[in-house]
Amino acid sequence: GENVEQHPSTLSVQEGDSAVIKCTYSDSASNYFPWYKQELGKRPQLIIDIRSNVGEKKDQRIAVTLNKTAKHFSLHITETQPEDSAVYFCAANHGNQFYFGTGTSLTVIP
Amino acid sequence: NAGVMQNPRHLVRRRGQEARLRCSPMKGHSHVYWYRQLPEEGLKFMVYLQKENIIDESGMPKERFSAEFPKEGPSILRIQQVVRGDSAAYFCASSPGDSSYNEQFFGPGTRLTVL
Q: Exposure string (b/e) for B36-53, b if CB count within 10 Å is 16 or more?
A: bbeeeebbebbbbbeeee
What whole-number distance in Å separates Cα of residue A110 and Cα of residue B102? 36
For residue A60, what pLDDT is reported?
Answer: 95
Identity of the residue numbered B75: S
Identity of the residue numbered B109: G
How many inter-chain contacts (A to B, CB under 8 Å) are there? 53
Portion 11-70 of B in contact with A at CB < 8 A: 31, 33, 35, 41-43, 45, 48, 55-56
Number of neighbouring beta carbons within 10 Å of residue A101? 25
What whole-number distance in Å separates Cα of residue B95 and Cα of residue B34? 12
**DSSP assigned state of B62:** S
For residue A107, what pLDDT is reported?
Answer: 97
CB B12 within 8 A of CB B113: yes
pLDDT in tens, A39-96: 988 999 999 999 988 899 999 999 999 999 999 999 999 999 999 999 999 999 876 6
pLDDT in tens, A17-38: 999 999 999 999 999 999 999 9
